[in-house]
Chains A and B, each alone.
Chain A
C-alpha cells in the first residue's frame, strides 16, 4: 500500500507531467490554420466541380448593393433621380478606392456614349447572322439604300444629330443598330437598364452596384472587414432620402456569426453556472467541477495532433470536435463516483471499471471512425478531432481523476453501496420504452432528410427583406442556370460558348443571356468574315453607286461615304476578343466573362457564362446540352445543385449511419457475447433514436444535417450509458452507476440543452436533438436496461 505523502507526491508529479504535455501541445495547436470556408461543409464531389467554378466567377465573394430612393410612389422626380445617381457614384467611387475590393461595377465609362459607336462597329462583320444577311440583302437594293439613307439624313438633322456626322459617314445604312440592339439585351444576370451611365431598375427607384471582395466572405473576420468598408462607403456616399441594401454572402455570414455570438453570450454563462452548481451538488464536492474539466485538457493535444496530420481545420469541425471530446466526461464521472462511493481499494475499483470504459471508448470512437469515411471534409476533420480528443481524454482522466477523489481504500459497505433491491414494477418502464420505440418506428420512415443548408441559415427580417427586394428588382427569374464555357484562353472559351449558344438558340423558346451574339469565338468569326467578304464582293459597287446617287439628292457631298465602302472591304482587321472584354464594354461584360486573374488557380482558365432562366422547360434542354458537350462545359443549376447536395448528403448520412450502427452492434455483441446483454446495452440508443425521430417529426417532419451530426453524438453517449448499466448490473453496482449516468445525462442536457433557447437555427437544432435523445436514453439506461437484464434471470418476479 502506498502511504498518503507518497501518494500526494505521485499525484502532483502526474499533474505536472500532464499539464506540461498540455502546454507543449497548446503551443503546437496555436499554429493550426483555422478555415471558415463554407465549401468544407459540402461533399467533395460538389466542391471540386461546380462550386469552385462559382467561386472563380467571383459570385461567392461578390457584394451586391441595391441603392434605392426612399419613396412611397412608383414615380420619382428628376431631383430624386439625381440624388440617387449621385449617391451611386459616390458609393461606387469609395468602394473602388478601398483595397478590399477588386472589380467594382457601378457605372459605364463616362464617355461610353460618344465612343460606343467606334468601339462596336469593328465587331459588325463577325456578329452578322444568316438572318441579318437576309435583312441586309433588302437594305442594299436601290430602294433599301434610299430609305435608310433618308432616315440617317433625318436623324442627322434632328436634335439628336449633333455629333453624328462621322457616324453617318461611316455607317450610312445604320447597320450598327444591329449591334446596339444586341448590346441592349446584354444585361448580365440582372434585369437592369442603363440610365445616365448607371445601372437602374425598371421603375428607376433603385440602382445596382456590385463589388468583388478580395477576401473570402465565408470567413467571419473578413466579412466584418468588408462590411466596415461597405458601411464607410455608404456613410460617405448616400444622400438624405437614399438607402442601401446589401445582398450576397456577406450579410448571411455576418448574421450567422452575430447570432451565434449573441446566443453564446447569454447561453454559455448560463450553462456554465447551471452545470457547476449541478456538479457540486450531485458530487457533493467542489471537485465535481474538476471532474468535468479534466477530460477537456485533451482538447489542446487533440488539436495539436490534427495540426501534425492535416495542418488545418475548419472552424465548425474545431468547435464540434472539442464539444465531442466532452463525451469523455462520462468516463471521468463514472471513474470519480466509483472511486468515491464503491467499496474496495482503488486498484480493485479501477480494474472493475477498465472493462466498461474500454468498451465505451471502443464503441464511441468506432462511430467516429466511420465518420472518417464521410465525403464532407468538415465531418472528417470533426471525426479526427473527436477520436483524438476522446482517446486522450480517457487517458488523462485515467491518470488524473484518481488523484482528486480524496481518501481511498477499502470502505465498509453502506446501504447505498448495496446492490439495489430489484423492483417488481419493472414492467412499467419496459412498457413505456416499447411504446416509445413503436412511436419512433412510426415516425422514422415519415421523416424527410432536408439537406438544404439554408435551413441552418440565421436570416433575420432585414436579410429576408433585402433578398426579396433583390429578386423582385434585379432578377428576371429567381432560378437561373449558368452555362459555363471554359478555355485556356478567351478564344477557346468563346468557341465552346458558341457551340452552347447555337444549341440553346435552336432548342429553347425562352430568351437567355449570352455574349455570343456580339462576341463570337474564332471559329464563328472566321466563318462570318468569309460571309462578309462574299456579300460585299457581290454588292459593294451597287451600294456605292446608290449611296452616291441618293446622297447627292439629299445634299451630301459626292464620295462622302468612302469610309463605309472601305470598311466593307476591310475584313482582315485584327480582332482581339480580350481587348473588347477589357475595353469600354467591360462593365457590361464583366459579370459574364471571367479572364484569368493570374493567381490563385493552378492553371489559368477563362470562363464565359451564359445565363438561362431555370424552369421545367429549360432544364431538360440544359441536361441534353451537358450530355452532348462534356468537355470544357459546366452547367450549374442552383436548383438542381441544391438537390444534388441534398442527395449526396442524404446518401452519405444513410451509408454512414448504417455502417456506424453495424459497427456498434458488432462491438457490443462481441464484448458481451450475450444477446440479452447486447440488447440491454443498446436499449438507450434505440430509445434516443426513437425520441429524436418523434421530436423531429412533431416539430418539423424533417431532419437536417445538424440533427444527424448531433444524433451521432447522442448515440455515442447513449451506448456508453447502456454499457455502463450492463456492466454495473454484472458488478452489482447499479445504484452508483445509475447516479453516474444521471449526472452525465443531466450535465449533457444542461450543457447542450440550453442551446434549445438559442436564436440560431443550427444551435437550436443541436440543443433540441440532445435534449430529446439524452432525455430518453438516460431513464432507459437507468431503469429499462437493468429491467431487461433482470427479466432474463427471473429476478423481476
Chain B
C-alpha cells in the first residue's frame, strides 16, 4: 500500500472536516497569516463530528489511454470511523472503525484487518486521525506550505520519500463557503490526480452500518 495514501486521505479529511471557515478568516497576506489560517482550521475540525460528501476522482496516468474517473462518497465520524466508497465504475469500499477495518470489492468477499496487527493499514489509519485532530505542524515536516490567492493551499514536498512520488499538492477552497472544491496532486513522471468534492453534509446523523458493513 502506498505511503501516499495516508497523506492524501488526511489532506482530504482535513479539508472536508475543516468546514465553516468564513471568507473574512482567510488571510490576505498568505505568508504572514498561514499559521492563523491553520489554527482556524484546527479549531473548526474540533467542532466537526461528522462529514458526508460526494467526490469525483480523475486519474491522469501515462499508463492509461485516457483519464480514468471514479466517483463515490466519503463518510467520516470522529474520532475513529471513516468510509471511502467508490460507486462508479467499479464499486469498492474501505472502512476504518476503531482498531478494525475492512476492504471490499464488488466481486470478492470483504477483507477484514486489525489495525493492531496490520502495520500498513495501522499506519494509514493512525495518520488519518493525526490529521483529523488538526496537528498541522506535522505537515510542515514533510511539506512546505503556502497560501496563494486567498483560497488555495499549496503543498510542496520536502526532501525524502514523499518527494520521490509527489511533486505538489494544490487544494482550492470555495471562496464563499471555504469548502475544499478540488485537490490536485502532481505525481512524478507527469501523472496527476484531481479530486472534486460536492454536496457536503456536516454534523448530520450517520448510519452506523456504514462503518460495519461494506454494502448495507
Chain A residues with CB below 8 A from B118, complex form: 184, 193
Chain B residues with CB below 8 A from A157, complex form: 57, 59, 68, 70, 86
A164 contacts the other chain (CB 8 A) = yes
Closest to A147 in B: B107
* A276-B48 Cα distance, complex, nearest whole Å: 81
Closest to A113 in B: B3
B9 contacts the other chain (CB 8 A) = yes
| Among listed A93-101, A194-202, A242-250, A281-289, interface-contacting one | A194-202
Interface string of A163-202 (1 = CB under 8 A from B): 1110011000000000000001000000001111000001
Given known pairs A79-B133, A556-B63, the reply for A159 and B116 (CB within 8 Å) is no
A424 contacts the other chain (CB 8 A) = no
B29 contacts the other chain (CB 8 A) = no
Q: How many residues of A contact B (CB 8 A)?
A: 40
CB pair A195–B166 under 8 Å, yes or no, is no
CB pair A557–B165 under 8 Å, yes or no, is no
Q: Which of B119, B133, B161, B185 contacts A78 (CB 8 A)?
A: B133
* A647-B120 Cα distance, complex, nearest whole Å: 48
CB pair B2–A557 under 8 Å, yes or no, is no
Q: Which of A82, A110, A165, A204 contacts B161 (CB 8 A)?
A: A110
| Among listed B124-132, B171-179, B201-209, interface-contacting one | B124-132
Chain A residues with CB below 8 A from B7, complex form: 162
CB pair A156–B59 under 8 Å, yes or no, is yes
Chain A residues with CB below 8 A from B5, complex form: 158-162
Closest to B188 in A: A163
Given known pairs A113-B3, A196-B123, the reply for A154 and B64 (CB within 8 Å) is no
Chain A residues with CB below 8 A from B97, complex form: none
CB pair B61–A195 under 8 Å, yes or no, is no
* A157-B86 Cα distance, complex, nearest whole Å: 9
B84 contacts the other chain (CB 8 A) = yes
B212 contacts the other chain (CB 8 A) = no
* A151-B90 Cα distance, complex, nearest whole Å: 10
Chain B residues with CB below 8 A from A51, complex form: none
Question: How many Å from the CB of B151 to the closest CB on chain A?
Answer: 23
CB pair B133–A165 under 8 Å, yes or no, is no
Question: How many Å from the CB of A639 to the closest CB on chain B?
Answer: 28
Chain B residues with CB below 8 A from A202, complex form: 116-117
CB pair A162–B2 under 8 Å, yes or no, is yes
* A154-B66 Cα distance, complex, nearest whole Å: 16
CB pair A79–B135 under 8 Å, yes or no, is yes
* A165-B62 Cα distance, complex, nearest whole Å: 9
Question: How many Å from the CB of B112 to the closest CB on chain A?
Answer: 15
Question: Interface residues of B: mostly helix, strand, loop or mixed?
Answer: mixed
A408 contacts the other chain (CB 8 A) = no
Chain B residues with CB below 8 A from A81, complex form: 126
B22 contacts the other chain (CB 8 A) = no
Given known pairs A169-B63, A556-B63, the reply for A184 and B119 (CB within 8 Å) is yes
Within 8 A of B (CB), among A107-126: 110-111, 113-115
A550 contacts the other chain (CB 8 A) = no
Given known pairs A110-B161, A113-B161, A195-B122, the reply for A159 and B108 (CB within 8 Å) is no
CB pair A158–B84 under 8 Å, yes or no, is yes
Chain B residues with CB below 8 A from A196, complex form: 123, 126-127
A203 contacts the other chain (CB 8 A) = yes
Question: How many Å from the CB of B204 to the closest CB on chain A?
Answer: 23
Question: How many Å from the CB of A78 to the closest CB on chain B?
Answer: 5
CB pair B187–A163 under 8 Å, yes or no, is yes
CB pair B4–A555 under 8 Å, yes or no, is no
Chain A residues with CB below 8 A from B50, complex form: none
List 14 A-B residue pairs with CB atoms under 8 Å apart, sorted by A's residue number.
A110-B160, A150-B105, A154-B86, A154-B92, A158-B84, A158-B94, A160-B124, A162-B165, A163-B4, A195-B119, A202-B117, A555-B65, A556-B63, A557-B62
Chain A to chain B: the 7 pairs with minimum beta-carbon distance, closest first: A162-B4, A163-B165, A160-B5, A111-B161, A194-B119, A114-B161, A113-B3
Chain A residues in the interface with B (C-beta under 8 A): 77-79, 81-82, 110-111, 113-115, 147, 150-151, 153-154, 156-165, 168-169, 184, 193-196, 202-204, 552, 555-557, 560
Known contacts A157-B57, A158-B5; 8 further A-B pairs (Cβ under 8 A): A79-B133, A151-B105, A161-B5, A162-B8, A163-B165, A165-B189, A193-B122, A556-B64
Chain B residues in the interface with A (C-beta under 8 A): 1-5, 7-9, 12, 57, 59, 61-66, 68, 70, 84, 86, 90, 92, 94, 105, 107-108, 116-120, 122-124, 126-127, 129-130, 133, 135, 138, 160-161, 164-166, 185, 187, 189, 191, 193
